[in-house]
Amino acid sequence: MKGRNRWQWIICGFLGVLVATPAVEVITNVMVFWQATPFIYQTFDAVPARAITIVPGNTVTNGVPEGPLAQRLNAALTLYRMGKTQIILVSGNRQEKNGYDEVTAMHRWLVQRGVSDAAIVDDPAGFRTLDTMERAARIFKVKSAIVCSQGVHPPRSVFLARHAGIDAVGLVTNPGQVSHVLSTPHETLGSAVAFVETSVGRGPEVLGPAQPIGSDTRTTASLR
């Protein structure tokens, strides 16, 4: 086993033990919630405008976004139609071997509803929320953004985005359902892992050459 991979496994094992401790889960969740909630908004009118909106991936079935992902896309579409955002970065999981592709489904969904193809940027390596936000900052050079998510997910999304160096605000896509600390086992663990991973400087699974949004003719016009 190569040295780098060995240390990655050691760190992952340590993280797994650490975040399984109830006290650590409570503390880390409170920290994530406390740092993110001042930047989370419940309505379209209240959320500040940003040139770029990030839509983290979620489940697609037979190539169609549904449930939480459809809510996120609909929120991004509304922001685009309102003129509050100009570019929509869709980030999700693309698995070429089995044909599962969140990003193409998200892109197609937006185009079918009138979003210009030139106003959509695809990130097929957004395997987790951490990957989505780190790649937005490192690969696409996003400096500020609106993050569309729902339920208990916005605090973790905004926390990770801001930790990556993005001046991010979150839009809750199901208004009225306020996010809570320790509200679900999945999100409790996810927030704990996010806090610890950012603390040890863990980056995205896949990087690559920079592709700054606005640096090519496909997106520059939309950002003027």
Average pLDDT over residues 103-115: 97
- Structural domain span for residue 67: 3-223
The tens digit of pLDDT for each residue in 176-195 reads 655 555 555 556 656 656 65
Cα 32 from Cα 139, distance rounded (Å): 24
Q: How far apart are CA 96 and CA 15, in angstroms?
A: 29
Average pLDDT over residues 94-98: 79
- Please state the rounded mean pLDDT for residues 96-103: 84
Position 147 pLDDT exceeds 90: yes
Buried b / exposed e over 25-35, threshold 16 CB at 10 Å, is: beebbebbbee
Which range among 12-21, 121-130, 140-149 shows the weakest confidence by mean pLDDT? 12-21
57: nearest Cα among 36, 73, 39: 73
| Residue 163 near residue 193 (C-beta atoms within 8 A) | no
Length of the chain: 224
* Domains of the chain: total: 1
- The conformation of residue 3, written as its DSSP 8-state character, comes to H
More confident residue, 172 or 3: 172
The pairing of strands 167-172 and 40-41 is: parallel
In this structure, the number of other CB atoms found within 10 A of the CB of residue 206 comes to 14
